[in-house]
Structure 1
Amino acid sequence: MAEQDQAAQGNNNPDPSFNLQRTYVKDLSLEMPNAPQIFLEQEGPSVEVTINVGGQQLAESVYESTVTVTVTTKIQDKTLYLIEATQAGIFEAANIPAEQLDPLLGIVCPTMLYPYLRATVADAITRTTLPALHLAEVNFQALYEQRLAQMAEQQSGIELPPGATRQ
């Protein structure tokens, strides 16, 4: 009995917990500034995709994570469509060690949200009657590591020429 009491007293740190509470479309914008004339073009479009990850703390152990994608599709110099969508999620992350919290919010949360974002973008484009665009998979760990490297370079105050790496 005394061993159980000691074990209970020694376990003051509750177990870590992580849960997705809710996911939602935070922002969605679709523009087709050159319609209907652009539909007469015979050339195939070029596509440019940018992805950004963000987030904020809402309460003690509650965080919002966001993934924003901007897709610009052009035929020559004319925009066929421009879509920007932000998928957000509310996550509960309690008793997570500080050194693990940033990677959790910067890698795991966006990875969980991205399939929802892909579906939202594909659905919005399909509703224009244009062929669907299916966004490629994204390695959020690589994006996270890239962001950390950029922050380290900015803090060092030394600018490197394009293509150069730190040793």
Structure 2
Amino acid sequence: MADETATEFTPETLTNGEDNSPAIGLISQYVKDLSFENPNAPAVYQWQAAPEMDVQFNIGAEGVGENLFEVVLKIDVKSKSSDGTAFVIELQYAGLFGVRNVPEDQLQPFFLAEAPRILFPFARRVIADAVRDGGFPPLLLEPIDFHGLFMQQLQTQQGGAEGIPTPVGEA
């Protein structure tokens, strides 16, 4: 008598020897664009006023091939004091991610929350090094809660779509 359980399949079963479980992997990461401007050198090195930092960031994701997506973390920093602009740095730090068997509704949360969390420490180092190489003390950006910001953005979109006032919070 043949063993009937040998023909049963579980959800993790391999089809034709191919793994059909969902997976996302980082293939490569790289500096896509980097600009450092020091418009008031050499006078800036003698300024006594403490600078104010304006840090802006943006996240973008796009398909670049079959099951390949590029996520770009864009960080802009302006350092200004009462004497003028000390420096301006613009960085686009990117990661190339391979995606397999991931439901479409799970891609956006990954690309806008998890992927930037993975890329941020490396982008932070590039900025610190560029600022230091420009003659200033290294700029160490504070960690960013990308998941919290993503959830806040979702609440804002859902609240705006339903006409419900959205709560105001800190980023």
d(CA) in 2 for partners of 1:29 and 1:151? 33
Residue in 1 that maps onto 2:42: 36
The worse-fitting range, judged by mean Cα deviation, of 93-102 and 122-131 is 93-102
| Count of equivalent residues | 162
TM normalised by structure 1 equals: 0.85
1:77 to 1:146, Cα distance in 2 relative to 1, 3 A: farther
1:98 to 1:4, Cα distance in 2 relative to 1, 3 A: farther
Unpaired runs of 5+ residues, structure 1, are: none
SS at match of 2:125: helix
Candidates 121, 129, 135, aligned match of 2:127: 121
Unpaired runs of 5+ residues, structure 2, are: none
Correspondence 1:86-97 to 2 at 5 A: 86-97=92-103
Percent identity between matched residues is 30
Correspondence 1:17-166 to 2 at 5 A: 17-76=23-82, 78-153=84-159, 155-156=161-162, 165=167
How many Å apart are 1:109 and its aligned residue?
A: 0.7
After superposition, the CA RMSD in angstroms is: 2.4
d(CA) in 1 for partners of 2:145 and 2:11? 42
SS at match of 1:130: coil
1:9 to 1:128, Cα distance in 2 relative to 1, 3 A: closer
Cα offsets for 1:97-150 (capped at 9, x unmatched): 222221111111111100110010011011012111101101001121222234
